Structure 1
């Protein structure tokens, strides 16, 4: 038998951000001098240490090791009972190693933050916001939202007034603000308001937003109407003073000349009509006599013919189909990196490499409020170019829409690149991007 171990306390109580200790007594139950390595296993191993980490004991000798527990004040370590084990490993007799088990009762703490996104919106009749609420504590909380306009000039409508948050999660509650009074023309008016976020009956957290109320009529409308009216007046004046008299004069002169020509032609036609009739009758008689003389029957006028018709009516081919709609999501899981110029890449490859991908919309999501930089790259045969670069701390949920879509030719890839500068206790960066478009 290599060793025996005894904990001074099997049930410990600790608070997040504070330290608690216990001791383990080790006895060398073997027959030779042995070295024992001591460490902590289980859920508490990430924030527990043994001092000293190794002890050397003679046969039958005992030693004491202090085990320190320092749970971080973070949502990554939930409140409640956390089991652990103190492992004593014998270097001379591995089979004689032992593990003593205990528990740490970790206290709960509440830390809720909130902000209005965006902080300012300019609009004429309504403004849409989102209230971002983060639970950075280590226990679930229920929060209530209550908007307030000190001047009572705005009306609010919340998507929901209460929401539940697990530790380390965030919620986005949509909110619409409408001014009670509107105006067609005038200078913009600023309306400052507050949203109070209360977690489980605690002290309310106040966050501030602003709606800049604009006039309902576009600024360009009145100048455009004035310019159009001036143009219409100029055209009417030009018609009555220049164009209409000129048109009447030209029409009168043309009508007189035409009447004179018609009168003259009628006189000439009347003078030669009789002679023409006589000549025509004589020519007809001569022609019939000539054909009869050679045994032919004088032909009559025939009509016939037609337009060849092959019975087909080809139609214009239909326009090419607009493509197949598609949507997909690319998520990142990037390690913390102190070098802001080094990026972890997460590529997306088309399922069918022979088709073209057209991107018209995308949504950037950063629900945990990570810190760093996000890039979208085009990978064309190993040559990469930056399409979009955004700071992670500048958004939680951000939409982009284009009139001129992004086109990725066959063989090209979309690459999500992330440079993560989170504090050490925040963990890895996990932003994502959702794409919408079509495949052609």
Structure 2
């Protein structure tokens, strides 16, 4: 029979940053004492809390839980209706679980900002600013951007003036400011301007900026020109009086030294070639002698060694490099249990492994097609070799360089802890992961 669930109010409304509560009634329609787990499904689950999350009910007994809706004042929580569900899971009869559905209407809120980057710019003929409109509210806002120059000294141009800003996003506009008048020399001139964002009935939002206009001729131009002329005159005098005679003398000495160095290098190369030739002859003689000694030693070793044989064996004397191939699959059907330490055991199908053989596993493939939640273990006797979370995979395979061995005293088995069956859940409400094994059946190695 499982549980029945009812909610007094299924149409609720809440303002982001505030909270509202609703009551949920749970009845145990079964004939056994049952434990029920409550949680929230849907996009609202991040900011919805149910208390208590677990309740134990006698047959026919009712239990009440409180559902608290507390959306944050954030653009990620969009305005408008948002469906949700209160899910009640029965421990004793998973197939009798139920979901009570409803909708919460999230009220809109506005958080619009306008920024100007940079706030102040310097230019001679044209300045460029960027207007940033930030919508930190939870619904789209249409915005008109207008500019104003109180002193009427600038020509202000926007890429476009109307835009739609989505919640949690920013819109960027390029603003070009060009002074009407320009001057060659003189003091800087400051031109203030204002950017305003207007949206329906909302109060206008403004950002102030300034263009600092400079003279067209750089201030450093005249001093730099005088300095360059003086420097050119000084360099000309130095060249004809000091540098040119010194360069000519140095060139003659450098040519003589280079010729002597080339002659010395050539003699050194000749000597080095002669030494390498002598060394090569000595190495060749030594190599011939070592080859003869190695051939003699190899003949002696072949006469004294009648051959060797070996096998790849374990410490128990099991040959893991030979034997007959084997592959099989262990399927499971573990009942859902909220206790994460409750495991059910599953073994190798009967008749797969003879009593006198050792199972050598080289490859495993784990399957969780339903998306069950819980844990799966692979054991050798009572020793856990591998433990994985079922929620971490749908298909997972391993291939071993050093294979696993399972002898008669330490059989292969699987344990499963089922927290929640996947969707669609089986009729019996069990978790049904499976593991496929492949390897060999080997006996003790020959003496």
> TM-score normalised to the size of structure 1?
0.51
Unaligned 5+ segments in structure 2 are 238-447
Name 2:441's counterpart in structure 1. Answer: none
SS in 2 for 1:133: strand
Question: How far, CA to CA, are the matches of 1:224 and 1:61 in structure 2?
Answer: 96
Give the corresponding residue for 2:380. Answer: none
Number of the residue aligned with 1:67 = 67
2:140 aligned residue: 140
Deviation at 1:227, TM superposition (A): 5.1
Cα distance per residue 1:293-337 (max 9 Å; x no partner): xxxxxxxxxxxxxxxxxxxxxxxxxxxxxxxxxxxxxxxxxxxxx
Q: Which runs of 5+ in 1 are unaligned?
A: 239-440
Residues in 1 aligned to 2:100 and 2:142: alpha-carbon distance in whole angstroms: 38
- CA–CA distance in 2 between the matches of 1:187 and 1:28? 87
Match of 2:379? none
Per the alignment, residue 94 of structure 1 pairs with 94
Structure 1 stretches of at least 4 aligned residues deviating more than 4 Å after TM superposition: 225-235
Equivalence for 1:54: 54
How much does 1:37 deviate?
Answer: 1.2
Counterpart CA distance in 2 for 1:53 and 1:99 is: 14
The aligned residue for residue 271 of structure 2 is none
Separation of aligned partners in 1, 2:52 and 2:169: 38
Match for residue 26 of structure 1? 26
The equivalent residue for 1:44 is: 44
Deviation, structure 1 residue 183: 1.4
Post-superposition shift, 1:63? 1.1
Distance 1:53 1:185, change over 3 A: same
Matches for 1:274-289 after TM superposition, within 5 Å: none
1:303-322 paired onto structure 2 within 5 Å:
none
- Pair 1:124-2:119 in alignment: no
Query: Does the 8 Å CA contact 1:109/1:137 hold for their aligned counterparts?
Result: yes
- After superposition, what is the alpha-carbon deviation per residue over 1:223-261, rounded to whole angstroms, capped at 9, x for unaligned? 2445567799999xx9xxxxxxxxxxxxxxxxxxxxxxx
Q: CA RMSD in A?
A: 2.2
CA contact (8 A) 1:23 1:65 kept: yes
**CA deviations over 1:150-174 (Å, ceiling 9, x no partner):** 3222220111111111111111100
Provide TM-score, normalisation by structure 2.
0.50
Which residue of the partner structure matches residue 157 of structure 2? 157
State how far apart, in whole Å, the 1-side matches of 2:231 and 2:97 are.
99
SS in 2 for 1:44: helix
Counterpart Cα distance in 2 of 1:70 and 1:139? 18
Q: Aligned partners of 2:233, 2:67: CA distance in 1, in Å?
A: 94
Q: Give the number of equivalent residue pairs.
A: 236
Q: Secondary structure at the match of 2:116?
A: strand
**Residue 168 of structure 1 aligns with which residue?**
168
How far apart in 1 are the matches of 2:67 and 2:169?
32
**Deviation of residue 204 (structure 1)?**
0.8
